[in-house]
Amino acid sequence: MALRATPVRMQRQRTQVRANVRVAAATVAVCLAAKVASACPVCFGASDGPMLQGSNMGIAALLVVTVAMLGAFVLFGLHLARRAKQSQDDATRPAGTGARLTDAPRGVWR
């Protein structure tokens, strides 16, 4: 079922197109006219300066966060593997033997 083109709908579409054209024209004007939009000093060959130091610190911060998150995933995986092994050991223990004091998780009975 095709939508009928009513005058209100057509006016709304024209208004939306005009708004999109204005936004695109403003974006192009800012990019072409702004001195700030030109390349950074590092791109022109400056090997040290505050911008390069700031970039290096940003890269270091992102690396620290990435390594910390990967480490957390690894530790969680090891935790799950240890819990699975403990659960399997508990399931294979003969019935009636009960839990021994040394089998308790840390902080429960100790």
SS3 34: coil
Q: What does the pLDDT look like over 63-72, one tens digit per residue?
A: 999 999 999 9
pLDDT at 110: 44
| pLDDT for 68 | 98
Name the token pair of 74.
Answer: 């690894």
pTM of the shown model: 0.45
For residue 50, give the 3-state DSSP assignment: helix
Question: Taken in order 47, 51, 54, 59, is the CA torsion positive or negative?
Answer: negative
Looking at residues 51-60, what average pLDDT do you find? Answer: 87
Angle at 100 between CA 96 and CA 102, to 5 degrees: 160
The pLDDT of 4-11, averaged and rounded, is 79
How far is residue 6 CA from its own chain's centroid? 44
* Residue 39 to residue 41: CA distance in whole angstroms: 7
